[in-house]
Structure 1
């Protein structure tokens, strides 16, 4: 959690040319829109400089001379200018926001597509909350950059340049009076940046802590309630929430101080203009209209500077967000399909592990020199204590991870020589923790494979005895499963996982502790169906209940990542080894002699 918080609080540089070049690549498909927005904002900035000058002309030429016709013309031009500025501003705002939304669409699509290509080990290392932040919060920060940052800054710069040019043209001495307050403005802005940077860092840290706490606490709501920890967890959340409030209040204080100070500096500039400009009007070296125009230009001069201060924060946040996004996009998938174009297909489903060793973490072996063979149509059971490596074998077979040493062969070919889609399509997996999406029952069984008909779904459900409970639901196969299958019992979800695996008709069937979560009655219902299904299919069964594996063609006993015993149920019992001890522990009540009745 600390690493996640540290990453989220990073603000980054205000400008990074390398990151900006990569960001501009997303603008390239919309360069016509960007060019149009730039043209509109430059035109708007140029026209926005005119109204104060029109005021000067109206006062000096027409009001003082009583020229009504000329005054009417200036008023008309003033209204036309304002209308043109409005239309241009609306146009550039619309174009920029549409372009920004399209860029965000492209970026989210790219991030999600990249996430789907990453290996399971990546998701073991990275919390879901952090990845969701990349797709949502960080992308939104870039949206602000594209819609209110890059092009708008150009508009502000053009506005400032136009005002400066007009001021020097009108009276360079009075222009220098306005610029005399700039050093004070720069000092205030510099101090604000220092203070607000630290404040933003504390806010982002607090937000990251809230997100991490909520994700963990809401996921473990059942445990919290079961152990009556609601008050304690509420106190913890209240403390974190208080830190977030304090950090935001500090940030609000700096902003509440900064913008009035900018107004104060602007007011000081106006006061100096009135004083010095008034003296020049008395001396006859400056017209009254020019003085009024200077006052108006002073207000327009400080407004873009205030906007630039705000856009500095947007740019800084966007640079940090883009760095995190590109770090994610630059993460190469550790598991990829081979580069050769000759496709391989799983025909028989023959499996062989050759001297396989594996480590999740370097130096911590999970499997050590594991070798075994599963022939076409055979059923092999993996048994052993928790942590023996049973589930790891299944993950390696599906190539969620690659072996550290050795080889895994399917139909005589290394699994690394198969395209991932072909390999995984050939393996039907029933995981210990069944995951159901929020769609309908039928959608969860079909899982996007439109070649599976409704009749095939129903037939698969009937074979595993899921059809009986599905048809009792209010909408049958169209019933929504709810988030993670919340509307279904554990046993029902397990049966749906069976139906899902069967409907896809894989060459290889893997049951990862598939019956450990099913009650005895449900287990009896599916046992006969399982025997029929496994008969003509290469199958690997993992279960804590030894009753589910006794009829397997072969049982492999794993202990601390090694194959310690191998044989049939009866052969392993005769060995009186690990399997025999596990059998004794599970069936000790049945094996005890019956008590003697007096």
Structure 2
């Protein structure tokens, strides 16, 4: 099966066939034209300067300048075409990647951080782009240039051609040795620059804590350490850069001197004219540039291959199973019918052989209030992801009125589930957009109703443009107001099921009490599933489910559990002592 990257490349080539033909023509033009100036120089010396016949000198001069101008024009078009094609290939690959991201299984995001995913879209795709810009095409051009130069020199003198062939591996080996060391130093430098920048960011972010705990000296010492390490890597790069150029110049000077000596009247070993000597010197000088470029191009190709592997791995990630697009929220939960949420012997594992959730069987009725409790890491948040159909159980199923939640299209889930977690993610847009998430099916009237429901009407009205105020800063709303906005976002579509994931974990008791009172108003209209970190302060529950090691340890009403579950009773007692 052809990889997505190959398909993207072939798609760009197919739709830009005339551009590709023009690129081939321009490349051939660059290679051929670059070999002409030394030949003109040979004729200038042998036909005009040595015999002192200057009648053709002006013609040769104009021809020399004209060829150099044409080389510049052809090089311009070559670079322009390569850049355009590279950008089109990059665009095509990134377009396919974003389509893949929309289909990819939610498990992927459990094991890959956002930074890793962004790196696939940026660094890895840029590396692939370099394969088609400064990689393969550049290598082909440089190889043809080297072949052309060697052939031209061989035509002047087979002996000089042999010298040139012997020179090639020596120059290439020296170039690659320096390039490898420079690359290693540059990679180290990029890592250390990242550490320096991260240290500055962390220092600014936590400046109050640093001052409170008198850690200025500690932060300064670390910063100085990173700067010193970074300085050393920059020194390495500069050292290799400064040493490489003189070495190449010395080799070039030695080779030119060698050619001049062998061509002298005393030796006349090469048996070539003065014009041929001058042309050979220019060709030899021109030989160093493509060899140096060839080393860099091989380096770019190596980086691109690793980029291709990582991007291909991304495309190979498992996708969500096919969703039954004909399923609609109104058909799953017909108006006036009760909502029955069933957990049918579900087991789930992120890694094979390691169960996070084990054999859970529950049936939750219409408007039932259920709180899931347990120690950190017992699988509460994972259970919520399974309920919303973001993850698929390894075994068993979760159903709403007999329909598997995993089969429900994502476009319908907001009408069924309202999800609130500990953090409120601001999007680019107005205050109203924070509620609707720019869903055109949600009316302004609905937004105003939920804003009023959560008690933010007065504050929103005080903003410059009310609901139409652009939210371009986290400071526009306090932490408590953000949590109220999160509730408004969850209930604006009036979903029958609300999922509350430790929503008061980062709030003080006063704000927590306000949010709990807002949620109490939703009791009669929703089935509410909550994860609580403080058992005694959450919404009054009909049922409490105690989880332990991914299993249901106990289920019952709060009153029953107070009597027969020691863990629940001890936590309630402890919290009362803590908050009293």
TM over 0.5: yes
**Once the 2 structures are TM-superposed, how far is the Cα of residue 429 of structure 1 from its aligned partner?**
0.1
1:585 aligns with 2:574: yes
- The aligned counterpart of 2:311 is 325
Instruction: Give the alignment partner of residue 110 of structure 2, picking from 121, 124, 135.
Output: 124
- The aligned counterpart of 1:338 is 322
Q: 1:179 to 1:579 in 2, by over 3 A?
A: closer
- The aligned counterpart of 1:176 is 162
Q: Distance in 2 between matches of 1:340 and 1:48?
A: 62
Q: Distance in 2 between matches of 1:284 and 1:368?
A: 85
CA contact (8 A) 2:373 2:544 kept: yes
Map 1:555-574 → 2, pairs under 5 A:
555-573=544-562
CA contact (8 A) 1:46 1:158 kept: no
**Once the 2 structures are TM-superposed, how far is the Cα of residue 580 of structure 1 from its aligned partner?**
4.1
Instruction: Give the alignment partner of residue 414 of structure 1, picking from 394, 397, 404.
Output: 404
State the Cα deviation string for residues 530-560 of structure 1 (Å, max 9, x = none): 3443322332233344566564443434445
**Once the 2 structures are TM-superposed, how far is the Cα of residue 292 of structure 1 from its aligned partner?**
1.7
Q: 1:225 to 1:437 in 2, by over 3 A?
A: farther
- The aligned counterpart of 1:7 is none
**Once the 2 structures are TM-superposed, how far is the Cα of residue 112 of structure 1 from its aligned partner?**
4.0
CA contact (8 A) 1:430 1:497 kept: yes
- The aligned counterpart of 2:132 is 146
Instruction: Give the alignment partner of residue 394 of structure 1, picking from 384, 389, 399.
Output: 384
Instruction: Give the alignment partner of residue 499 of structure 2, picking from 468, 492, 510.
Output: 510
1:472 aligns with 2:456: no
State the Cα deviation string for residues 116-139 of structure 1 (Å, max 9, x = none): 444444333233333333332333
CA contact (8 A) 2:151 2:161 kept: no
- The aligned counterpart of 1:136 is 122
> Please, what TM-score do these two structures have when normalized by structure 2?
0.85
Computed over aligned residues only, the root mean square deviation of the Cα atoms, in angstroms, reads 3.6
Number of aligned residues? 571
- The aligned counterpart of 2:47 is 61
**Once the 2 structures are TM-superposed, how far is the Cα of residue 466 of structure 1 from its aligned partner?**
2.1
State the Cα deviation string for residues 337-359 of structure 1 (Å, max 9, x = none): 33666536432542111233334
Q: Tell me, what secondary structure is at the counterpart of 1:436?
A: coil
Deviates more, 1:243-252 or 1:444-453: 243-252
Q: Distance in 2 between matches of 1:212 and 1:590?
A: 38
Map 1:159-558 → 2, pairs under 5 A:
159-189=145-175, 191-192=177-178, 195-196=181-182, 199=185, 202-203=188-189, 206=192, 227-279=213-265, 285-333=271-319, 336-338=320-322, 342-343=326-327, 345=329, 346-347=332-333, 349-361=339-351, 364-423=354-413, 426-482=416-472, 485-523=474-512, 525=514, 527=516, 529-546=518-535, 549=538, 551-558=540-547
Q: Distance in 2 between matches of 1:339 and 1:453?
A: 27
- The aligned counterpart of 1:3 is none
1:156 aligns with 2:146: no
State the Cα deviation string for residues 68-88 of structure 1 (Å, max 9, x = none): 542222222222212211111
Q: 1:225 to 1:100 in 2, by over 3 A?
A: farther
State the Cα deviation string for residues 252-308 of structure 1 (Å, max 9, x = none): 433333332222222122112212223389799533222222221121122211221
- The aligned counterpart of 1:596 is none
Q: 1:212 to 1:363 in 2, by over 3 A?
A: farther
CA contact (8 A) 1:277 1:286 kept: yes
Q: 1:230 to 1:561 in 2, by over 3 A?
A: farther
**Once the 2 structures are TM-superposed, how far is the Cα of residue 589 of structure 1 from its aligned partner?**
8.2
- The aligned counterpart of 2:26 is 40
Deviates more, 1:74-83 or 1:229-238: 229-238
Tell me, which stretches of 5 or more residues in structure 2 are unaligned?
none
Deviates more, 1:456-465 or 1:531-540: 531-540
- The aligned counterpart of 2:36 is 50
State the Cα deviation string for residues 403-452 of structure 1 (Å, max 9, x = none): 34332112212223333443455211011233223543222222231222
- The aligned counterpart of 1:13 is none
Q: 1:326 to 1:268 in 2, by over 3 A?
A: same
Q: Tell me, what secondary structure is at the counterpart of 2:272?
A: coil
Q: Distance in 1 between matches of 2:270 and 2:309?
A: 58
Q: 1:331 to 1:219 in 2, by over 3 A?
A: farther
CA contact (8 A) 2:192 2:230 kept: yes
